[in-house]
């Protein structure tokens, strides 16, 4: 069976793509030759990334999307098809973190975390797969999980850990359900990645623990075998691999991008 993939001219949607890891993913897929929809609540930021991605020569689309809203999830895929004439790849990157002691998690905290990180990802996968089945496209979905979903890397974002474990479970479920249709579903699990979000998390940890952000960061780095934090381009490289030709025999997998913290 010749299942090779040429991603040039294919169409990808990346959620939460205005900053950080999402931005790096959108730019990498554009550099790979894909047409890319940059979906984010931050409309101005999405437009800026779309302009940067277009420098690689492909088409881009910037959309204001609230990933927790069903109409927005459907619209981002429909408008991608309208703009590019096709839909091939969904990268579920949008996510949030809330720092808290486990016993301080209330229902509002829980619901917000699950709605963004788990529920929205599940239903975005549903929307994408329906279109891929309809168009008989050998599509790919890449979900951004976290090493926190495998090991509860800290107990100070407890509901986040649960939400990312849910992302891993849904990745395996969708992968098993639709592999025979040629649809591949995988996950990437970042560790400590140098982003503005990571800086904000470290600052929140520091407040909760009465420490300095520098001490929190030093503690994180001490647990990384390679000895340094990753950058968003490293995560983007893993997504590119899973969305492209070289990853065509992988589905249901969760690749760690964490400097060696986890080996499973």
pLDDT tens, residue by residue, 52-100:
999 999 999 999 999 999 999 999 999 999 999 999 999 999 999 999 9
Answer yes or no: is 85 within a domain. yes
Residues 168-195 have a mean pLDDT of 97
Domain count across the chain: 2
Tell me, what CATH number does 85's domain have? 3.40.50.720
Residues 207, 122, single domain; the answer is no
Residues 68, 28, single domain; the answer is yes
Question: What are the Cα distances from residue 200, in Å, to 75, 160, 196, 257?
Answer: 31, 15, 6, 20
Answer yes or no: is 51 within a domain. yes
Share of the chain above pLDDT 70, in %: 100
Question: What are the Cα distances from residue 38, in Å, to 42, 49, 166, 187?
Answer: 10, 7, 24, 19
Residues 40, 141, single domain; the answer is yes
Longest dimension (CA), the chain: 59
Answer yes or no: is 87 within a domain. yes
Answer yes or no: is 6 within a domain. no
| Residue 3 binned pLDDT confidence (cut-offs 50, 70, 90) | confident
Residues 145, 203, single domain; the answer is no
Query: What pLDDT is recorded for position 175?
Result: 98
Question: For the chain, first and last CA: distance in Å?
Answer: 30
Residues 136, 198, single domain; the answer is no
Answer yes or no: is 171 within a domain. yes
Answer yes or no: is 173 within a domain. yes
Query: What pLDDT is recorded for position 43?
Result: 96
Residues 120, 16, single domain; the answer is yes
- In this predicted structure, the answer to whether residue 226 has a pLDDT above a threshold of 80 is yes
| Residue 111 binned pLDDT confidence (cut-offs 50, 70, 90) | very high
Query: Could you identify the residue written with the tokens 């709605």?
Result: 115
Residues 148, 216, single domain; the answer is no
Least confident of 30-39, 66-75, 195-204, 233-242: 195-204
Answer yes or no: is 3 within a domain. no
Q: How far apart are CA 125 and CA 91, in angstroms?
A: 9
- In this predicted structure, the answer to whether residue 2 has a pLDDT above a threshold of 80 is no
User: What's the chain's average pLDDT?
Assistant: 96
Residues 210, 144, single domain; the answer is no
Query: What pLDDT is recorded for position 124?
Result: 98
Question: What are the Cα distances from residue 148, in Å, to 92, 99, 134, 157, 217?
Answer: 17, 13, 35, 9, 16
Residues 164, 197, single domain; the answer is no
Residues 178, 208, single domain; the answer is no
Answer yes or no: is 261 within a domain. no
3 state SS of 175: helix
Question: Quick one: which of 158, 133, 135 has its CA closest to 148?
Answer: 158
Query: What pLDDT is recorded for position 207?
Result: 87
Beta strands across the sheet bearing 11-15: 60-64, 35-40, 11-15, 89-92, 140-144, 184-190, 254-257
Q: How far apart are CA 208 and CA 202, in angstroms?
A: 10
Q: Which residues are catalytic?
A: 160, 164
User: Which residues form the domain of 53?
Assistant: 11-191+232-256
Instruction: Output phi, psi for 5, to 5 deg.
Output: -120, 135
Residues 29, 160, single domain; the answer is yes
Residues 179, 205, single domain; the answer is no
């Amino acid at each position: 069976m010749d299942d090779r993939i040429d991603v040039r001219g294919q169409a990808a949607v990346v959620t939460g793509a205005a900053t950080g890891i999402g931005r790096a993913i959108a730019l990498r897929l554009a550099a790979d030759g894909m047409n890319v929809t940059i979906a984010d609540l931050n409309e101005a930021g999405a437009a800026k990334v779309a302009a940067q991605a277009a420098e690689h020569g492909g088409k881009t689309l910037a959309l204001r999307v609230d990933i927790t809203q069903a109409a927005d999830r459907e619209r981002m895929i429909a408008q991608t098809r309208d703009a590019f004439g096709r839909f091939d790849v969904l990268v579920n990157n949008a996510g949030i973190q809330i720092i808290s002691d486990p016993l301080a998690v209330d229902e509002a905290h829980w619901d917000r975390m699950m709605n963004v990180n788990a529920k929205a990802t599940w239903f975005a996968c549903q929307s994408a797969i329906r279109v891929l089945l309809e168009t008989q496209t050998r599509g790919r979905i890449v979900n951004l999980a976290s090493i926190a979903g495998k090991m509860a890397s800290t107990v100070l974002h407890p509901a986040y850990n649960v939400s990312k474990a849910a992302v891993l479970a849904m990745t395996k479920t969708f992968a098993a359900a639709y592999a025979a249709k040629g649809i591949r579903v995988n996950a990437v699990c970042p560790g400590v990645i140098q982003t503005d979000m990571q800086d904000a998390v470290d600052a929140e940890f520091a407040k909760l623990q009465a420490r300095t952000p520098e001490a929190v960061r030093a503690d994180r780095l001490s647990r990384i075998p390679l000895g340094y934090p990753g950058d968003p381009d490293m995560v983007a490289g893993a997504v590119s691999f899973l969305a492209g030709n070289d990853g065509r025999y992988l589905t249901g997998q969760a690749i760690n991008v964490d400097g060696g913290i986890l080996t499973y």
